[in-house]
C-alpha cells in the first residue's frame, strides 16, 4: 500500500506561498496531490514555551487550511493567520487515508516524533513581520486599463492618406505624432481607457525608437517637448495616466556615447559605459566587428549599468521626465537583463521624488527576483495571459489544461504582487489577438472578457478594438485605421467591460477564482466579495448546454453583458459556443465552500 504522495507537496517560506498581505496578516499556501484529505497549519501559540511537570515544550496553535483550487494534478490549500507576536515558526500536518505526516522545512516526520515536536529551528520560519516589507504597488495601478500606443503607427492629424502604407519595417515611417495621440484622447476615454503606455518617444533613427540616440530629446518625427507636455496635461485632465518606455538595458549605436567609443577606441572616456570585449570595434574598412562588444542587436550596444556614470545618467533621465513633465511611471524594456543593484538604486531615487510612480518591467518569465518590493512594482504578465490565449484563441489547450496553467500562473505571485501587474494578451512583441484567434470574433471577444476579470492592471494594444491583424514583428505593427469602416468592431464590448470593471472594481480585480465546473467543453468560474458574486459561464461546445448551478436556483441576478435582470430556475441554458457573465448579491451569512 502506497503512502502519501510526498513528491507533489510544495511550500516555500518567504515567497508567494508565505507572505505578508498587510502588517498583521500572513497568507500561507500549500500544494498537495489529491490523496491529501485535510491540512492543518501548526504554528506558534501566544503562550510560546510552556512548562509542564517535566520540562518546557513549544506550544502550538492548530488552524485548518481550506482548499482554494483543485486541478487535475493538485490541490492548493490556503490560510490567513494573524501571528500574535509578528513572527512565525510553522509546519503542516497532512492527513491522507493511509497516513498522517508532519511537513516542515527539514522535510517529513511522524506527528508522534516528540524530538522534532520541539525542534523549533527545523520548522518553516517567517522571522519578523516588518510593515515596511509589505509589497504594495501604487494604489491606482490596480484600477488602470492601459492602452499601448506605438506613436509612429497611431495617428497624424495632418496626413489625409493616413494608414494607407503597406510597409511596416523599422525604417518605414508612417508619421504618427504626439499631437495625433492627444487629438484621440477623447476617443480613448470613451473606450474606458485610464492609462496610455507609449513605446519609446526619444530621438532615434528607427520608427520603433528602441535604439535611443538621446534620452533627453523627443524624436522630431513625433513632435517637441512642448507637444509632449500638452499630451500629458490633456491626458491627466481626462483622468488618463501616462507611462513611458525606458530602454535602459541598451542604447542606440548613434548615441554620442557609443560614437565616441567608435571614434576614440580605448581612449574614449565612455568605453566603460559598455561591455567591450576587445578593441577595435571596426575593421580597416569601417565594418563593425559585432562580437567585440555586447549588444541587444548590433545597433543597440548593451549599457554597463554597474558603471556609476551610467547610473547617474540614467537616473537623471528617469527623474527628468517625471519632474519636468509629470509622467506617471516607467515601463523598463528588457528589465531582466539590467543588473539588480541598479534597479534598486533607480527605484529608491524615483520613489523618493514620486512615491506613487509606477515601475513595471518587461519580463516574460517567472520574475519573483525582481518583485520583492525593492525593484519593480510589477511586470508585463504574459504568463497569465498565455493560458487564456492558448485555450480560447488557439484551441490548443483542453479546459483541464487551461485550469492547471492558469492556477499555476496566478499563484506564481502573491495577491499583493498581482495587484501591481500589467497583464496583456498582445503587444508590439506578440501576435495580434484577432489573428491569434484565427479571425474568430467570438473567441476574440471571450479573450477580452477574461482579460477584464484579471487582477492588477490590464492592457489593450492599439487597434485591438477594430480587429487589426498581424502575426510577428513587423506585421503586428500596422498603422491604426481611423477612416476605414471595419466589419469587425469590439469597441462596444470594450466600453461595456471597462464600465463594468470600473463600477465593480473589487469583484472584477479580485485575486481569487473559484472553479465551480470544469469539463472538456464547459467552464464555470466564480469571483466574489463579501457582498457580491460574479459568475462566468463558458460553453465551448457546438451544442447548447443545460447547466444546473445549485447555489443559484431561484435567485435573482443580473446579466452584465446583456444589461438585464435575470431569474435562475432549475438550470441555465447556454447556447452553443457562448458565454455569460452574471452578478448576484450574496446572501447574508452565506457559507462559501471552496472546491
Give me the active site residues, please: 333, 362
Dihedral sign, CA of 220, 226, 229, 231?
negative
SS3 label, residue 350: helix
Strand 100-104 and strand 124-126: the pairing is unpaired
CA geometry: angle 223, 227, 232, nearest 5 deg: 125
CB-CB contact of 252 with 203 (8 Å)? no
CA distances from 291 to 70, 252, 273 (A): 50, 17, 17
Angle between helices 491-503 and 441-451 (to 10 degrees): 20
CB-CB contact of 69 with 515 (8 Å)? yes
- The full 3-state SS of 390-441, as one line of letters, equals HHHHCCCCCHHHHHHHHHHHHHCCCHHHHCCCEEECCCCCCCCHHHHCCCCH
> Cα(first)–Cα(last) distance of the chain, in Å?
27
Residues in the chain: 595
All three cell numbers of 300: 543597440
Question: What does the alpha-carbon distance between residue 405 and residue 390 come to, in Å, rounded to a whole number?
Answer: 10
Looking up cell 484621440, which residue turns up? 184
Q: To the nearest 10°, the Cα dihedral for 113, 114, 115, 120? A: 100
All three cell numbers of 366: 517567472
Looking up cell 498581505, which residue turns up? 21
Catalogue the long-range contacts made by 390-398 (C-beta closer than 8 Å, 24 or more residues apart).
Answer: 392/437, 392/443, 392/446, 392/447, 392/450, 393/433, 393/436, 393/437, 393/438, 393/440, 393/443, 393/444, 393/447, 394/436, 394/437, 394/438, 395/443, 398/520
CA distances from 402 to 72, 97, 247, 342, 391 (A): 10, 29, 34, 37, 6
Amino acid at each position: 500500500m502506497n503512502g502519501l504522495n510526498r513528491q507533489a507537496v510544495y511550500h516555500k517560506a518567504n515567497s508567494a506561498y508565505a507572505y505578508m498581505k498587510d502588517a498583521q496578516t500572513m497568507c500561507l499556501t500549500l500544494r498537495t496531490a489529491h490523496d491529501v484529505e485535510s491540512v492543518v497549519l501548526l504554528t506558534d501559540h501566544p503562550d510560546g514555551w510552556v512548562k509542564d511537570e517535566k520540562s518546557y515544550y513549544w506550544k502550538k496553535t492548530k488552524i485548518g487550511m481550506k482548499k482554494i483550487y483543485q486541478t487535475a494534478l493538485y490541490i492548493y490549500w490556503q490560510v490567513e493567520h494573524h501571528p500574535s507576536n509578528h513572527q512565525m515558526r510553522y509546519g503542516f500536518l497532512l492527513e491522507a487515508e493511509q497516513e498522517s505526516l508532519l511537513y516542515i522545512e527539514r522535510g517529513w516526520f511522524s506527528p508522534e516524533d516528540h524530538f522534532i515536536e520541539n525542534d523549533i529551528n527545523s520548522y518553516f520560519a517567517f522571522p519578523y513581520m516588518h510593515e515596511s516589507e509589505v509589497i504594495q504597488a501604487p494604489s491606482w495601478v490596480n484600477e488602470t486599463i492601459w492602452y499601448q500606443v506605438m506613436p509612429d503607427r497611431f495617428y497624424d492629424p495632418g496626413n489625409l492618406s493616413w494608414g494607407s502604407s503597406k510597409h511596416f519595417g523599422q525604417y518605414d515611417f508612417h508619421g504618427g505624432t504626439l499631437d495625433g495621440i492627444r487629438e484621440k484622447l477623447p476617443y480613448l476615454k470613451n473606450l474606458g481607457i485610464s492609462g496610455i503606455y507609449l513605446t519609446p518617444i526619444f530621438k532615434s533613427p528607427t520608427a520603433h525608437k528602441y535604439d535611443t540616440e538621446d534620452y533627453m530629446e523627443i524624436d522630431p518625427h513625433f513632435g517637441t517637448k512642448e507637444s509632449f507636455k500638452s499630451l500629458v496635461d490633456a491626458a491627466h485632465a481626462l483622468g488618463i495616466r501616462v507611462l513611458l518606455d525606458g530602454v535602459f538595458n541598451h542604447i542606440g549605436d548613434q548615441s554620442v556615447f557609443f560614437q565616441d567609443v567608435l571614434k576614440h577606441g580605448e581612449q574614449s572616456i565612455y568605453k566603460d559605459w559598455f561591455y567591450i570585449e576587445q578593441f577595435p570595434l571596426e575593421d580597416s574598412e569601417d565594418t563593425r566587428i559585432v562580437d567585440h562588444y555586447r549588444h541587444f542587436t548590433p545597433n543597440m550596444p548593451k549599457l554597463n549599468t554597474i558603471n556609476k556614470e551610467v547610473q547617474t545618467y540614467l537616473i537623471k533621465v528617469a527623474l527628468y521626465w517625471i519632474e519636468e513633465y509629470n509622467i506617471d511611471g516607467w515601463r523598463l524594456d528588457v528589465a531582466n537583463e539590467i543588473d539588480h543593484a541598479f534597479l534598486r538604486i533607480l527605484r529608491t531615487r524615483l520613489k523618493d521624488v514620486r512615491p506613487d510612480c509606477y515601475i513595471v518591467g518587461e519580463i516574460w518569465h517567472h520574475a519573483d527576483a525582481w518583485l520583492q518590493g525593492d525593484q519593480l512594482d510589477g511586470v508585463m504578465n504574459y504568463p497569465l495571459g498565455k493560458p487564456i490565449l492558448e485555450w480560447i484563441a488557439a484551441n490548443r489547450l483542453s479546459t483541464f489544461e487551461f485550469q492547471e496553467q492558469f492556477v499555476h500562473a496566478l499563484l506564481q505571485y502573491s495577491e499583493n504582487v498581482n495587484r501591481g501587474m500589467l497583464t496583456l494578451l498582445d503587444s508590439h512583441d506578440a501576435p495580434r489577438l484577432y489573428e491569434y484567434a484565427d479571425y474568430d470574433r467570438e473567441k476574440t471577444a471571450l479573450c477580452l472578457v477574461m482579460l477584464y476579470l484579471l487582477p492588477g492592471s490590464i492592457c489593450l494594444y492599439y487597434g485591438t478594438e477594430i480587429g487589426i491583424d498581424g502575426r510577428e514583428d513587423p506585421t503586428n505593427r500596422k498603422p491604426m485605421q481611423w477612416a476605414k469602416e471595419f466589419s469587425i468592431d469590439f469597441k462596444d464590448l470594450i466600453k461595456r467591460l471597462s464600465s463594468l470593471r470600473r463600477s465593480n472594481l473589487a469583484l472584477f480585480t479580485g485575486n481569487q477564482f473559484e472553479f465551480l465546473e470544469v469539463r472538456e467543453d464547459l467552464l464555470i468560474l466564480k469571483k466574489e466579495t463579501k457582498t457580491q458574486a460574479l459568475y462566468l459561464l463558458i460553453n465551448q461546445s457546438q451544442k447548447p448546454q443545460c447547466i444546473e448551478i445549485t447555489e443559484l436556483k431561484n435567485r435573482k441576478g443580473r446579466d452584465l453583458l446583456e444589461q438585464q435582470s435575470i431569474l435562475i430556475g432549475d438550470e441555465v441554458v447556454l447556447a452553443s459556443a457562448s458565454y455569460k457573465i452574471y452578478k448576484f448579491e450574496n446572501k447574508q451569512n452565506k457559507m462559501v465552500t471552496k472546491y
